[in-house]
């Protein structure tokens, strides 16, 4: 994009502030880049256990601000649940609801339900939805989606350059479930970090995966990197019954098979895997 005198013009986001509840400071800030199709909607900080995902959203916006043009549109909601984010809690102290469990929301309901309804209104206009979230455990950045049920979700999942995709639980009320049911391609991306801890390496990795997806969709310029995603089943948990310190013998992202030794307790008792699979999180 060029100005009248031929100088390059950088992208500036349009900002749409929507007041959900003024008394509690529940205001949603939507940052828009471009006004064409396809339209990608990026959502972060559905709860207060978020830090890396908010930073990732910030990095994506900073990159878009440095571009001359976007062939399409990107809408970013960096903090979807302002009050819960400020307090560092998962559920709202106003109504004890988890935002990512009440979609599509209710415009006449609780603060959380009204928040969900406003987000859902934007989500219905999107061609693709990316929900960023921070995992509580040490994990490899991975996709969560309903890729086994819906071809439109599987196609999107396979085009985002992270090595692992886990099957979603399909919980009703979650954005990744409700959007998929409406025919909207949607994925969640879970990454390392916690409330007061930003994992900058994970944030950069996810930012690059999102930008590469935009290049694949011919929205922004740059080299398209071929993606290779391992589509896995649902997450399974392996719990150690004995007390003591667990010492892992495997690394995040490793493939393990049933009866493989994955670690020891107190360097004595071996812990084996009851499943064939890939190690996604470890604590």
pLDDT truncated to tens, each residue of the chain (283 aa)? 544 454 456 789 999 999 999 888 899 999 999 999 999 999 999 998 878 999 999 999 999 999 999 999 999 999 999 999 999 999 999 999 999 999 999 999 999 999 999 999 999 999 999 999 998 668 899 999 999 999 999 999 999 999 999 999 999 999 999 999 999 999 999 998 876 789 999 999 999 999 999 999 999 999 999 999 999 999 988 888 788 888 889 998 899 999 999 989 987 789 999 999 998 988 7
| CA gap 233, 24 in Å, rounded | 40
Tokens of 143: 């996709």
Q: Which residue has the tokens 């990026």?
A: 42
Q: Which residue has the tokens 């709202």?
A: 92
| CA gap 277, 22 in Å, rounded | 47
**Prediction pTM value:** 0.93
Q: Which residue has the tokens 């950069």?
A: 204
| CA gap 117, 102 in Å, rounded | 9
Enumerate domains of the chain plus CATH numbers: 14-231 (3.40.630.10), 246-282 (no CATH)
Give the DSSP H/E element, type plus range, for residue 247: strand 246-248
């Amino acid at each position: 994009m060029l100005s009248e005198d031929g100088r390059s013009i950088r992208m500036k986001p349009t900002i749409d502030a929507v007041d959900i509840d003024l008394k509690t400071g529940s205001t949603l800030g939507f940052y828009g880049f471009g006004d064409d199709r396809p339209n990608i909607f990026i959502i972060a900080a559905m709860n207060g256990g978020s830090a890396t995902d908010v930073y990732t959203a910030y990095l994506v916006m900073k990159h878009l601000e440095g571009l001359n043009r976007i062939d399409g549109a990107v809408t970013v909601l960096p903090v979807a649940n302002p009050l819960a984010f400020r307090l560092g809690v998962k559920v709202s102290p106003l109504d004890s609801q988890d935002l990512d469990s009440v979609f599509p929301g209710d415009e006449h309901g609780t603060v959380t339900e009204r928040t969900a309804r406003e987000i859902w209104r934007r989500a219905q206009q999107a061609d693709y939805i990316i929900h960023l979230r921070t995992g509580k455990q040490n994990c490899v950045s991975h996709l969560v989606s309903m890729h086994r049920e819906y071809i439109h979700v599987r196609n999107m999942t396979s085009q985002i350059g992270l090595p692992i995709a886990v099957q979603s639980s399909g919980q009703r009320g979650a954005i990744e479930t409700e959007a998929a049911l409406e025919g909207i391609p949607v994925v969640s991306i879970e990454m390392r970090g916690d409330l007061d801890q930003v994992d900058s390496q994970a944030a950069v990795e996810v930012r690059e995966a999102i930008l590469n997806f935009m290049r694949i969709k011919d929205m922004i310029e740059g080299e398209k990197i071929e993606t290779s995603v391992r589509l896995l089943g649902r997450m399974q948990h392996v719990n150690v019954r004995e007390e003591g310190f667990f010492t892992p013998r495997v690394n995040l992202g490793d493939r393990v098979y049933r009866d493989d030794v994955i670690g020891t307790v107190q360097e004595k008792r071996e812990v084996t895997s009851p499943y064939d699979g890939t190690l996604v999180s470890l604590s």
